[in-house]
Amino acid sequence: MNDLLNKIQKNTSTSPVKLSSHHLLSIEGMDKLEIQSLIDRADFFANLDKHSDTKFLQGYVVLNVFFENSTRTRVSFELAARRLGAEVINISLINSSIKKGESLLDTASTLNAMKPDLLIVRHPHSGAPILFANYLNCSIINAGDGRHEHPTQALLDALTIKRRIGYLEGLKISICGDIANSRVARSNIHLLTIMGAEVRCVAPPTLMPSGLEKLGVKCFYNMKEGIKNSDVVMLLRLQNERMSGTENPSEREYFKFFGLDETKLSLANSNAVIMHPGPMNRGVEIASALADDTNRSLIKTQVEMGVAVRMSIIEALNYTKHQI
Ligand code: NCD
């Protein structure tokens, strides 16, 4: 079985990946081979010079539709699609259709009439990309929906770890901070457990959702215990915009107990790496010097890997659509 897996993985790194769906809505429901193949193909793209000819998708039309603010995710998708030769149109609907009262279904049908090949959607409500997938003819990528999932972030995080450490299976990975409001945490929990890592969630009780153990993770309310012997410490932003008010901790107090500093990091493995999906609040979830410590911090690599991972996903969705 392992031989077969290796063979398939070798092939997929130099050819497009076929998935079981022409949408990418969540990591939940994907299998190990699909994830591994996307990471391997992205690794191949990451090793190419940026001027290499990867324009396989000429004439392919991508709508980058963002109902929430974004810098790195939106730009990264745009670069990925352009490197594949696609045409990209950015549509910011933060202040537009929603405020004018248009229903999501009407927005979906308007976008459908433009006949895109792919719609990349970020939305403040969980499930919005699923609704688009049900009503549009094109492929849909979830670029973050409410507190639900952010599948491309988890895939780029996995590629970043793979390139630094070489593998995911058996690694101890501590995800620390505002787990309750984080779609990044949820996608990473699914991906890392599917790939055989040992996942720990570290948060104050008000920011730890119930039922996480059912997903195969261990929960810690004390950061020093939660990052002990970890290989990877992944930090999350306090997502105040998704909090109802009562759970907002004071930033100073939060840093004292859940911010990563040298003292807490010294409890992790001596070569443990630090990750953060951004945007990051220095002095709140991470000490500024640690964020900039290029020996330990993979934060810039995460941004870099975003383009390669999104190239591999866009290519895979197009390939899959034409194979079904
Ligand atoms: C994250 C998001 O939007 O969910 N950012 C990102 O995509 N890089 C995390 C966050 O906003 O804190």
Q: How far apart are CA 117 and CA 161, in angstroms?
A: 31
pLDDT surpasses 50 at 128: yes
Distance 53 CA to ligand 1 centre (A): 30
pLDDT of residue 246: 65
324 is a domain residue: no
Query: Quick check: 9 pLDDT over 60?
Result: no
Residue 288 exposed, middle or buried by CB count within 10 Å (0-12, 13-18, 19+): exposed
> Would you give the DSSP letter of residue 16?
P
Residue 232: give its domain's CATH number: 3.40.50.1370
Check pocket membership of 184 for ligand 1, CB cut-off 6 A: yes
Question: How many domains would you assign to the chain?
Answer: 2
Q: Is 144 a pocket residue for ligand 1 (Cβ < 6 Å)?
A: yes
Q: Are residues 289 and 195 part of one domain?
A: yes
- Please indicate, yes or no, whether residues 124 and 224 belong to a single structural domain of this protein: no
How much is the average pLDDT of 31-55?
95
Query: Which residue has its alpha carbon closest to ligand 1 atom 11?
Result: 279
Q: Quick one: which atom of ligand 1 is closest to the CA of 73?
A: 7
How far is it, in rounded angstroms, from Cα 98 to Cα 112?
17
User: Rounded to the nearest 10 degrees, how much is the dihedral formed by the CA atoms of 106, 70, 59, 49?
Assistant: -170
Is residue 144 domain-shared with residue 281, that is, in the same domain?
no
Whether the predicted pLDDT of 5 surpasses 90? no
Contacts of 42 (CB under 8 A, 6+ apart): 155, 156, 159, 305, 308, 309, 311, 312, 313
Dump strand ranges (E) for the chain: 61-66, 87-92, 118-123, 139-145, 172-176, 198-202, 218-220, 232-235, 273-275
**Looking at the domain assignment, is residue 129 inside a domain?**
yes
* Nearest atom within ligand 1 for CA of residue 237: 12
CA of 182 to the centre of ligand 1 (A): 8
Mean pLDDT of the chain: 93
Question: Do 270 and 174 share a domain, yes or no?
Answer: yes
What is the domain range of residue 264? 151-302
In a domain, 159, yes or no: yes
Q: Express each pLDDT in 82-108 by its tens digit.
A: 999 999 999 998 876 566 657 888 888
Determine the atom of ligand 1 nearest the C-alpha atom of 178. 12
Examine the domain organization and report whether 160 and 36 are in the same domain: no
